Structure 1
Amino acid sequence: MGIIGIDIPQLNEEQDIEVEVRVNGIKKQYNYRVEIFYWDQCPFPTEDRVECIRQLVNSYDRDWDLAHLGLPTDDYIPITFRKKRNLKG
């Protein structure tokens, strides 16, 4: 899958984003969600930030896949999820 970067104005605590694109005249819609996770929100407290991210992603809603990890700060990391698509018919 190709990747196109889209600037999203102002990163808030939670953003739902709908993107509609046409590729060779075929319209497709994608849904994304940007979540900000604070390091102290780890499901099982740990000092290892990689393990924390793994826990956060694994415990997230199963209808969403990891799309992108944002730049972490000392307090939080923004994580973008992409809604799983129904591939039937």
Structure 2
Amino acid sequence: MGSIAIPLPSVGSQQDIEVDIRVNGQLRQQNYRVEVFYWKDCYHRHNRAECIREILNGYDKEWQLYYIGMPTDDYVPITFMKRSA
């Protein structure tokens, strides 16, 4: 799958994004969710890689990982894409 970049307003705690795409004349819809996860909320306070793994393993299985954004000292933004039916 190819990709394009679309600027979005600044991320709050969660954004649900619906994109209608026309590819070769066929309309398709893709849903994304951007969530911010705070390091302080990691249950066992492990290192950051383990924290992200814990987040992803416990996340709603209707959504798949799409992109892990640039982390800060306080949080990491993660983008999920809704799985096709």
Q: Does the aligned pair in 2 maintain the 1:71–1:77 contact within 8 Å?
A: yes
Query: Per the alignment, in what secondary structure is the counterpart of residue 6 of structure 2?
Result: coil
TM-score, structure 1 normalization: 0.91
Distance across 1 between alignment mates of 2:78 and 2:9: 15
- The Cα shift of 1:43 comes to 3.7
Flag structure 1 segments of 5+ consecutive residues without an equivalent: none
Structure 2 matches for 1:1-89, cutoff 5 A?
Answer: 1-46=1-46, 48-86=47-85
Distance across 1 between alignment mates of 2:33 and 2:44: 23
CA RMSD of aligned residues (A): 0.9
Distance across 2 between alignment mates of 1:41 and 1:65: 21
Greater shift, 12-21 or 37-46, is seen at 37-46
Flag structure 2 segments of 5+ consecutive residues without an equivalent: none
Cα-to-partner distance string for 1:59-84 (whole Å, 9 max, x where unaligned):
10111000000110000000000111
TM-score, structure 2 normalization: 0.95
Q: Does the aligned pair in 2 maintain the 1:44–1:55 contact within 8 Å?
A: no
Query: Per the alignment, in what secondary structure is the counterpart of residue 72 of structure 2?
Result: coil
Cα-to-partner distance string for 1:11-40 (whole Å, 9 max, x where unaligned):
111100000100000110000000000002
